Chains A and B, each alone.
Chain A
Amino acid sequence: MGRYTLRRLLQMIPVFIGSTFLIFFMVYALGDPVAALFGDKAPDPATAARIREDLYLDEPLWRQYAHYMGQIFSGHFGTAFNGQPVTELMASAFPVTLRLTLVAVAFEMALGITLGVLSGLRRGRGLDTSVLLLTLVVVSVPTFVSGTVLQYLFGVTWGWARPSVSPEAPLNELLLPGVVLGLVSLAYTTRLTRTSIVENARADYVRTAVAKGLPRHRIVTRHLLRNSLIPVVTFIGTDIGALMGGAIVTERIFNIHGVGYQLYQGILRQNSPTVVGFVTILVIVFLLANLLVDLLYAVLDPRIRYA
């Protein structure tokens, strides 16, 4: 286990460098951060040259990247164009997005597993078919459509939720955005749980449990569910990382000042330090989430052994 973890950590290094360099390349080489500083006006050539020199932008790209990464690992993420340190932006944005993600994950776990178990136990019947069709419909409605429509219905027409979230983003205001964010993952959780239940329902240990005369609810909760939830738990684990990076649309619709909002603003204004800094953190979160899920897999399923 220890050796496996170490090997995976070492494997993460080239992936981390590759991903962050790609983003760095796109932001710094395809766009022009100095021109972006001046907005619509063209910069004075002497000033621009001076800024380039101060910010190491006149050096080759790989030197810029190495310098940037060196600063990141000593905790300096640079300053945004308005003079605010990027770390300050992160400190205000990440807790908000984390809360939003937790709401989404709680929602998809509670509803997705329930629906998946119910339809998996009644394979081929009316409930099963309608749940499967419903998940397909949910998957095919893009988040920006479902978000706008639900915001209009719940927030404006019926007045059950606030259509726009305040900057502090307390948990109760994040309920509706969390549901919107978790909707597509909910469909996948449901289908995954259903598949897993259907597969395990034919397993020998379930037949043994039935033959022993155990009550049905005990067979389902103790025997079937425990084994069927392994892939679901690992899926939800990786989903946490994905949802954090994917909240851009939801945060834009509901005006939540989280990671997605800061990134969107940063990209629109070509605020390079913000963009690269946030994406670097997101890539790290994502890679670590994947590693944790793989380790969790071995803990949950003793048949899997890491050499």
Chain B
Amino acid sequence: MPEPFDTRYDTTEAIAPPGSGGGRPVDPTASGPRTPKGGPPPKGGPRRGPWRRLPLPWRGEPGRRSGGPAAPTGRGLWTDAWHDLRRNPIFVASALIILFLVVIAIWPQLIASGNPYHGDLARAQDGPAPGHPFGYDLQGRDVYTRTVYGARASITVGICATLGAALLGSVLGGLAGYFGGWWDALLSRIADVFFGIPILLGGLVFLSVVTSGSVWPVVGFIVLLGWPQISRIARGSVVTVKEHDYVQAARVLGAGSGRTLLRHIAPNAVAPVIVVATIALGTYISLEATLSFLGVGLKPPTVSWGIDISSAATQIRNAPHMLLWPAGALSITVLAFIMLGDAVRDALDPKLR
């Protein structure tokens, strides 16, 4: 069961305490006692977060530039991270899987020539046959073709929901962290309200009144309940970064709020948001499938793994293959995104090396 993340525990390693549907612990920066209001977030104290790493002068020495594109000013966080990632087999493997998934989500005809809606009732629940390696489902439709076409719904929901939640969350959280004051306090309370609603319950209630079976209500719902998590990460990150000398310097030189935020704070504060968003992408895909399984997410005729698994679950004694293939595809997709996030986090967080 997917669930966004928590900021209390060290997200550097324990990817995310999940909660099978509802609860996310209250954030210490919002209401906890461990942090004075407006001060640095719990993790920003003695620890050197990756986003605090500045392009240090000696990084430009020729001896340290082995590998990686040679940047004129030396290797910054991003070049460094990219250098690591290219050598990480887990990253390469998951990136290739994701690339493949995105390609077949856009052009499923490339590897599946059939029609996902074409059913042959005479062959209902039959096992594998020549040309139909995964067998047939309850309506005699080809499981292979449906599994391939199912990627589109999952990938669309995952990417759109993550983009929406990340944009909304980082804008709101970043502004709250930068300006502080009553807006910050209000935002923390609003985020608490959304955290108080178990995500699956909220999904069931909210989506059960929606009649449309397309992906957009699901995307909208996930953005609605997903942004507070990202906004907390972004807020904490911005609060840490804005205390740095180069931000003070920019202000002293007369940079306005907009320029300071966009040119100086955002590039240095965005790393944790990217990490959390990548891992969240996997859990959002899983959440969409769970909602579809419960019958409130996507609805037929949309082809989706969650719907196929839901209809196969009741038939598992007669035809386990109907469940196995879409479930396997779903699990591999989620795994690929979570592993990608894991690898990106390892690369962006030098503490763990």
Q: Which A residues fall within an 8 A CB radius of B?
A: 4, 8, 11, 14-16, 18-19, 22-23, 26-27, 30-31, 136-137, 139-145, 148-149, 152, 156, 181, 184-185, 188, 191-192, 194-196, 198-199, 231, 234-235, 238-239, 241-250, 252-253, 263-264, 267-268, 270, 275, 279, 282-283, 286-287, 289-290, 293-294, 298, 304, 306-307
A306, B309: Cβ atoms under 8 Å? no
Q: Are B22 and A246 in contact (CB under 8 A)?
A: yes
Q: Which residues of B contact A267 (CB under 8 A)?
A: 204-205, 208
CA distance A279 to B38 in the complex (A): 33
Q: Are B201 and A245 in contact (CB under 8 A)?
A: yes
Q: Quick one: which of B22, B26, B194, B206 contacts A26, CB cutoff 8 A?
A: B206
A249 touches B20 (CB 8 A): yes
Q: Are A144 and B196 in contact (CB under 8 A)?
A: no
Asked if B129 is an interface residue, CB under 8 A from chain A, the answer is no
> Complex Cα distance A8/B295, Å?
38
CB distance B209 to A30 under 8 Å? yes
**Are A143's CB and B12's CB within 8 A?**
no
Contact A148 B1 (CB under 8 A): no
* Those of B17-46 within 8 Å (CB) of chain A: 17-26, 28, 31-34
Residues of B within 8 A of A238 (CB): 17, 19, 23-25
The CA of A140 and the CA of B333, in the complex, are separated in Å by 8
Query: Is A145 touching B309 in the complex (CB atoms < 8 A)?
Result: yes
Classify the interface of chain A: helix, strand, loop or mixed.
helix
B206 interface neighbour in A30, A148, A152, A181, Cβ under 8 Å: A30
Q: Please name 25 pairs of A and B residues whose Cβ atoms are closer than 8 Å in the assembled complex, sorted by A.
A: A8-B31, A19-B196, A19-B197, A26-B205, A136-B342, A140-B286, A140-B338, A142-B1, A142-B293, A145-B331, A148-B316, A192-B10, A195-B14, A196-B10, A242-B20, A243-B19, A244-B22, A248-B200, A248-B201, A264-B204, A264-B294, A267-B204, A267-B205, A282-B198, A294-B33
B-side interface size class: 35 or more
Most buried by A among B32, B200, B205, B323: B205
- Across the interface, A263 reaches (CB within 8 A) one of B18, B194, B204, B332, namely B204
